A = this chain, B = another copy of it.
Amino acid sequence: MAHRVDAIAQALGARFEGDGTLAVSGASEPSSAKAGQIALAMDPKYAAGLAEGEARVAMLWEDADFSAFDLDAAIFVPRPRLAMAGLSKVFDPGPEIAPGIHPSAVIDPSAEIGEGAAIGPFTYIGRGVKIGAQARISAQVFIAEGVQIGDDALIHSGARIMSYVRIGDRFICNPNAVLGGDGFSFVTPEKSGVEEIRNTVGKREEIHAQHWTRIHSLGTVIIGDDVEIGANATVDRGTVRATKIGNGTKLDNLVCVGHNVQIGDDCMMCGQVGIAGSVKIGNRVVLGGQTGVSDNIFIGDDVIAGGSTKIFTNAPAGRVLLGSPAVKMETQVEIQKSIRRLPRLFAQFADLRKTVAELRDNKGTE
């Protein structure tokens, strides 16, 4: 679908120069842009590519000189990635889900689906489910009994939303995500080895065979507004109280959130992050890919962890973490510098010992 330059500029809150009535039907990198597309050259380093491509319209950096380029129109943006958010929203057609409810879908008669829903084939919606207006639910989705979802949901194919999960407005659920699976919670009749070593720092004295008894999850999952869950991610339900994810929080693909976890607002959990049971995470926390968080700890507001950080202990608000075990990023940088210098240290230490031994021996023979 084509959009006029002036309309795009308005959507982005940006100014434009040239012919605002021109329409573009897609975005591209400058060098491979075709006629009819808008070239993305929001940094001077991409400007050279404009001559290679065929675009007559471009998105340029804020103080670019329009007259310096052979273009018919340009939009000028101060914060390129923010402009990309707006532009990509304009051009994203979204998934094709035919309006209405596909005849093959199985929907319990007691379910309440809001106005304007599109529900794909082979989707199952259980007893008492309530879904708001304008829902787009793709094919082969599973929504169990008692689930409540707000307005404007987009739920992709293969998502599994288990019983009584409650979700706010503008929810996006990527394919094959699982919300509200049972928590991974087991207990042994007698003290288990894991309980033992928590007290003994690794010493084992009472090893004996016993089986795991399951603790069922009676809680559910409660998710705020504007949340997005990644493909193949899992969020387990709580044992008694609910697992919670706050407003505006985004989970990437293959993220693993354990039972009872509380995640605040506007957090970002990157790919393959794992959060063990009963962790409490504040607002605006960002955990880099493959970060792990041990069970029952506390991560304060605005904590940021670099990729693959392994957090074993509470992290105060505002802390920037890196490494395994996680320490302050600047401390980790120091540690890594020290570690790289270790082989040299060992060599220098050996020399010094020799020197000292000579000094002592000379002294002794005096």
The residue of chain B having its C-beta at the shortest distance from the C-beta of A284 within the complex is: B209
Residues of chain B contacted by A274 (CB below 8 angstroms): 254, 271-272, 289-290
C-beta contact mask, A266-291 vs B, less than 8 Å → 1, else 0? 10101110101000000110100110
Is A85 among interface residues, defined by CB-CB distance under 8 A?
yes
The residue of chain B having its C-beta at the shortest distance from the C-beta of A228 within the complex is: B214
In the bound assembly, the distance between CA atoms of A7 and B342 in angstroms comes to: 59
- Contacting residues of chain A (206-253) with chain B, CB-CB under 8 angstroms: 207, 209-218, 226, 228, 230-234, 236, 239-241, 248, 250, 252-253
* Residues B352 and A342 in contact, CB atoms below 8 Å apart: no
In the bound assembly, the distance between CA atoms of A162 and B359 in angstroms comes to: 74
Is A158 among interface residues, defined by CB-CB distance under 8 A?
yes
Residues of chain B contacted by A342 (CB below 8 angstroms): 335, 338-339, 342
Is A27 among interface residues, defined by CB-CB distance under 8 A?
yes
* Residues B181 and A174 in contact, CB atoms below 8 Å apart: yes
Among A16-24, A49-57, A64-72, A193-201, the stretch that binds chain B is: A193-201
* Residues B176 and A178 in contact, CB atoms below 8 Å apart: yes
The residue of chain B having its C-beta at the shortest distance from the C-beta of A200 within the complex is: B320
The 5 closest A-B pairs by CB, nearest first: A202-B329, A88-B216, A92-B216, A338-B342, A202-B320
Is A48 among interface residues, defined by CB-CB distance under 8 A?
no
Task: Looking at the assembled complex, report how far the CB atom of A281 sits from the nearest CB atom of chain B, in whole angstroms.
Answer: 15
The residue of chain B having its C-beta at the shortest distance from the C-beta of A160 within the complex is: B175
* Residues B254 and A210 in contact, CB atoms below 8 Å apart: no
